[in-house]
Structure 1
Amino acid sequence: MERKEGSSFALSEDKKTATIEYSFNRWDFDRAWHVPIWTLTYRTGWLFLMAADTLDSKLSDSLRSDLRVVNRCQEWELSPSFYRIVKPGTRLKGVRKVSVLYQKESLEGDVLTVESWEESPGTLRPITKGNSAMDQKKGTAYTLSEDKKTVTFEYKFNLWDFNRAGQISIWTISDRSAWLLHMGLSRLESRLSTLRSFVRCQEWELSPSFYSLVKPGTRLSVSSRMLHVGKTSMIREGEIVDSSTNQVLVKGIIQDIHISIDTRRPKPFPDWMKEKYSYLSSEPRPETVEEFEDPNDTTKMFIYKVTVPPSDIDGNNHTNQRHYIRYCFNCAAVGAKQGAYPTVRGDLFKQGVRKVSVLYQKESLEGDVLLVESWEESPGTLRFQVRKGSEKVVQVTMRFFVTSGSETGKSKL
């Protein structure tokens, strides 16, 4: 086979078949360390397009411009070996085959009913109105700073990371950034991956250039370092930089609490953790996200209801941290269209989030009904209180880039 220069694609001798190398990443896996079937179908569709682009670049160019297509149907069959080979070490049941026929469209806000029945043993029919991902990606070059405290490596976002407006959604940015920080620090200390922790808070600030510069395949540089290690918690800091200009595009922190999975309560770090990061013991504890007060009784609020689906539960058997950001953004997107906020209006998928701050207060579980309360704290800034009944679950603050020329449109990055 002929290998196309500068890429991971190979062409067959008759120039009719393109082959691409690909590795799934940690964030592609669910709580059972499977790649979910919807991720497989969506990702495979993109990989097919990328391979087809190798045969004829006009195809993908036309799909991005004048040629608009929708799927009529798709069918994928998986070998039982997929679940064993792609994620070694766990043998669980997975979807063997999925067939989909698209009949009508559904739109934002539509209420859909999913009917299902067992057609034959092991088969459900629904109708509706490279290395292992546990290892570091092969070929990634990690660089240590002179003081051996900061790890830097290259990363590129892919086509499937972008939403319908051509932007990377804020929940994808926060989740991916957290994973990348972990990947980097795990190169310094592999035992970090053995710790069981809950996220207490996280905060990420984005440069306006992030949305204009970052495209699929843009070369980025990721840096991560440990800022603080206490008795039961650690704080990590990270940056994503444009490799060509060295401009900081994303900067943030994340605080994790070491917990006992049995009691769901904090527990002290093991001795090796204290010894490894003893040099941080004399450093002052960095500022993190703190709880904000409830709005006064006269504040206009917009409320959005969410039922936690099974797919949002992670390996800690609770709602994964990134989904709360998605719930809050969806709340804001619906509210903005309905004129619920004085300055945050229009299609938020086309507007960039400047900063997101999240404080996790309680857990939620599969099937829980959550109420997302939202209000505009200041021009361009929305606050959210996620509740489960009377319990406060999560607080989120999102600041949007605005076009009014006010201070809310400016970023420190």
Structure 2
Amino acid sequence: MPAHAALSMAYSREQKQVDRLVQLKISVNEDGSKATVSLPGYSLDDIDRTGNVSVSRIQRLLSAVRIAAYHTPNLITGVSFLEYDTLTSDCLTFMASTKTEVSRDLYTLVNLPELPALQAEIQLGYVGTSSLNSIALLRNKANGHVLAQNVNQVVTVDKVKRKPTPIPDWWKTKYVPVVSGNQRLIVAPLQIPDKVYDYQIHVAWSDIDGYGHTNYVCYIRYCLDSAMDAVKKNYFSKFEDDILLYHVKDMQISYRGESAAGDVLSLKAWEDESNPYHLYFDIASKGKTIFQCGMLFHEPHAGLARATKL
């Protein structure tokens, strides 16, 4: 099967999964600069073993709303948000880096009598020669409070050559004027110290996406698994009991390679010298770094972490 056909089928499966999971109401403002996606509240599947909202599920949700906005045509015009489906009909987009900020308010939603409906807003954040980024805000629909903000930096890649390819001039001419901020997301490479916590994980088939590679959200889970193992070995100075009792405040991630089912990944975890609530992770496959992440946690209030455990 040709690569482009396989990729088309993979996207089709992913889109169908998103459509089945949630009934989405999508609107685009008058100048076409912002798409708003209405969402139901979190479900039990979004809650981890400690009773906290799962940060990897947050990341997955922010990807799902982008897919929905980019590939759902307007019922009147027949055009999707930013004409992203047309842009990507001649190229692929690969994730280069991502940054996610999560407020304390998001984690307290689970303490409410009823989980509120959510709303996501997507805007174009930057356009370069062969890369772009988008900004997604997740809000509590009831009061408008921002619960999370995410920036995804992607590279446009030729489908056949698998090399970066320029963004078409027609698209840049039309959509650069609606860019918000126009700042490229750059995540600097991490320098791995001598003292780290080592951990290994086997990539399972259930972690594979429609393209045959490990789903990028799974790497977040791998990082937290390695941190959990380190916590149980009393490796970190501030974390105890269960890593999921602590609330992620900020994640900065860079993607440097790929892995597949059956691969054995080597993870290294360490804490920042000046802030023990700031952890770093490096994931390597076959001796080569494929993923790096800096994960900053909200400092817990006295007794907060243990009080939220189920």
TM-score (normalizing by structure 1):
0.61
CA distance in structure 1 between the aligned counterparts of 2:140 and 2:18, rounded to whole angstroms: 27
* Deviation sequence 1:136-178 (CA, Å, 0-9, x none): 9886433333543011121122222222222232111112112
Matched, 1:285 2:169: no
Match of 2:306 in 1: none
Match of 1:346 in 2: 241
State whether residues 385 and 394 of structure 1, in contact with CA within 8 Å, keep that contact through their aligned partners in structure 2: yes
State whether residues 136 and 183 of structure 1, in contact with CA within 8 Å, keep that contact through their aligned partners in structure 2: no
Matched, 1:203 2:99: yes
* Deviation sequence 1:286-311 (CA, Å, 0-9, x none): 3432222222x3xx311110122222
- Mapping for residues 12-411 of structure 1, pairs under 5 Å: 31=10, 132-133=16-17, 140-156=24-40, 157-186=42-71, 187-188=80-81, 189=83, 190-191=85-86, 194=89, 195-214=91-110, 217-279=115-177, 284-295=182-193, 297=194, 300-377=195-272, 378-403=275-300
* Deviation sequence 1:235-281 (CA, Å, 0-9, x none): 00011111122111101200111123444322223444333323268
Q: Match of 2:69, as an amino acid?
A: G
Judge which range, 172-181 or 265-274, deviates more: 265-274
Judge which range, 312-321 or 381-390, deviates more: 312-321
CA distance in structure 1 between the aligned counterparts of 2:131 and 2:226, rounded to whole angstroms: 31
Judge which range, 364-373 or 325-334, deviates more: 364-373
Tell me how far 1:388 sits from its aligned partner: 1.7
Closer/same/farther in 2, CA of residues 307 and 162 from structure 1, 3 Å limit = same
Q: Secondary structure at the match of 2:269?
A: strand
Query: % of aligned pairs identical?
Result: 26
TM-score (normalizing by structure 2):
0.79
Structure with more of its chain in helix, by fraction: 2
Closer/same/farther in 2, CA of residues 398 and 137 from structure 1, 3 Å limit = closer
Closer/same/farther in 2, CA of residues 248 and 256 from structure 1, 3 Å limit = same
CA distance in structure 2 between the aligned counterparts of 1:280 and 1:231, rounded to whole angstroms: 16
Instruction: Name stretches of at least 5 consecutive residues in structure 1 with no aligned partner.
Output: 1-29, 36-86, 88-131, 406-413
CA distance in structure 1 between the aligned counterparts of 2:108 and 2:207, rounded to whole angstroms: 30
Instruction: Name stretches of at least 5 consecutive residues in structure 2 with no aligned partner.
Output: 1-8, 72-79, 303-310
Q: Match of 2:289, as an amino acid?
A: K
CA distance in structure 1 between the aligned counterparts of 2:145 and 2:103, rounded to whole angstroms: 9
Q: Secondary structure at the match of 1:265?
A: coil
Q: Match of 2:32, as an amino acid?
A: K
Q: Secondary structure at the match of 1:196?
A: strand
Closer/same/farther in 2, CA of residues 179 and 394 from structure 1, 3 Å limit = same
Judge which range, 361-370 or 203-212, deviates more: 361-370
CA distance in structure 1 between the aligned counterparts of 2:26 and 2:202, rounded to whole angstroms: 41
Q: Secondary structure at the match of 1:277?
A: helix
CA distance in structure 2 between the aligned counterparts of 1:138 and 1:404, rounded to whole angstroms: 34
State whether residues 13 and 210 of structure 2, in contact with CA within 8 Å, keep that contact through their aligned partners in structure 1: no
CA distance in structure 1 between the aligned counterparts of 2:21 and 2:287, rounded to whole angstroms: 43
Q: Match of 1:313, as an amino acid?
A: I
CA distance in structure 2 between the aligned counterparts of 1:307 and 1:392, rounded to whole angstroms: 16
Rg (Cα) greater in structure: 1
Closer/same/farther in 2, CA of residues 371 and 270 from structure 1, 3 Å limit = same
CA distance in structure 1 between the aligned counterparts of 2:234 and 2:265, rounded to whole angstroms: 22
State whether residues 339 and 345 of structure 1, in contact with CA within 8 Å, keep that contact through their aligned partners in structure 2: yes
